[in-house]
Structure 1
């Protein structure tokens, strides 16, 4: 079958975007379309120029006999600001406030479009960091972790609070919960995470940071390095937070359960995007 250039461009763009952070040899497309390597190289240049001009991501190319192309998800600052603005609007709904000062976010965590947007944003912040796996804590952080991991093209490691027979051999630690001050347990299957991995920890909400500290301690059991921590929302006015090196999309403060009010403001993520 003979493909027109326009048809090749559609296929190649979709294929590259579907395999982020993976070098695709040009021979893949040479063989697929029975075209000369010079023609495929020109196709790649066209895709790259459009992505650059429209802020659709980064297309890196390598020359030589083993040359290829790699799509790296990256959004513009303007697009990041749109995502934060929409998220802020959604979170500011007063009926989200629950007893105990918690915020209802299950609908947001279950929204595939918002998760895709958050994946793009977080992947942009950590796109230049070597990440081998995305780590989260069951259960609310799983959808976010999957969205980010999809963009970075790395596996997800889910930490649980109880041992399941289907997990096989596991590693567990005890940690102090930041909100309840109770001793709790974290469990991770040995098969889930490779020794010596660089991991990105993601979660939906950050309070005192006890859980994230527990994750960091658990990663030490795997000789893994925490290369970054990113959360959707953080509680702003928290004393004695156990760590400070993290990114957040939004901050909440001045929570008043009686009047059902709270204040939402931008987190520090846009500062990270500006530096990219």
Structure 2
């Protein structure tokens, strides 16, 4: 096999298996090449991944070692994407009663969702996440996008139990914005005890729903290592019940009457290397 052909095959494989440790003998056998040639190929791949700003290859030494692809979206790429997202969300036609924004079109765009997944994966990749948790329904596309880059399953918290999911754990929680008592449930088979998880959601006001998910996850002894939200409402900061989260955009200065809105970058860049 020509090196160019082998490079395409190896690159495709690592991109399709993020965070998975892949041994050099595996590639050597799969592509009928010497380990030294595979090692040179991996160096070329690593340089190109970093040059494109989409990640890098991490080498693990030892008998059980190899390489794994770490998804990491570069700061320049991330800033360009988030600036475009802010501009799109500032359209006054998106304003809904209560200061909410219409975002269903964005949440339905595969390319946009995939890029959002890349950004959150950049934040969460070093945390050894075992599952991505979200609440039905609008957060589901985001959760699957993040999970695809972290190579972990998605766990969906629901408002009511489904008979097809077996026994469940449920809790009551206080919605941060409406102060209403609501219920959320999670099937017992969906998450192993003690799992390390991240929570992903599309929009956060006071954070009552996310805080409810955290309480529910305590019933599974799960460790919430990270929280990611696409958009946060700045005017709810004083009443926010959630800390240590990552947001991509921040909704501020919402004036429904005059159809004006300001959208700024969230805190994603505060912690981006």
1:265 — aligned with what?
Answer: 264
1:81 aligns with 2:79: yes
Partner of 1:18: 16
Q: CA deviation at 1:44?
A: 1.1
Q: Which stretch of the first structure deviates more once superposed, 3-12 or 29-38?
A: 29-38
The 5 Å alignment of 1:46-195 reads 46-195=44-193
2:8 matches 1:7:
no
TM-score between the two structures when normalised by the length of structure 1 = 0.95
1:197 CA drift (Å): 0.8
Dislocated runs of 4+, deviation >3 Å = 63-67
What is the alpha-carbon distance in structure 1 between the residues aligned to residue 215 and residue 61 of structure 2? 42
CA distance in structure 1 between the aligned counterparts of 2:58 and 2:163, rounded to whole angstroms: 43
Correspondence for 1:224: 222
Helix, strand or coil for the counterpart of 2:241? coil
Which stretches in structure 2 are left out of the alignment for 5+ residues?
none
Q: TM-score, normalised by structure 2?
A: 0.96
**In structure 2, what is the Cα distance between the partners aligned to 1:67 and 1:248?**
35
- Which SS does the other structure have where 1:42 is aligned? helix
Give the Cα separation in 2 of the matches to 1:272 and 1:117. Answer: 18
Number of equivalenced pairs: 272
Per the TM alignment, residue 144 of structure 1 is displaced from its structure 2 partner at its CA by: 0.2
Corresponding position of 1:210: 208
Tell me by how many angstroms 1:64 deviates. 4.2
Taking the aligned partners of 2:181 and 2:211, their CA distance within structure 1 comes to 13
Q: Which residue of 2 aligns with 1:256?
A: 255
Distance 2:12 2:200 in 1: 27
Tell me how far 1:127 sits from its aligned partner: 1.7
Structure 1: unaligned runs, 5 residues or longer:
none
Q: Which moved more, 1:37-46 or 1:105-114?
A: 37-46
Q: Secondary structure at the match of 2:176?
A: coil
SS in 2 for 1:251: strand
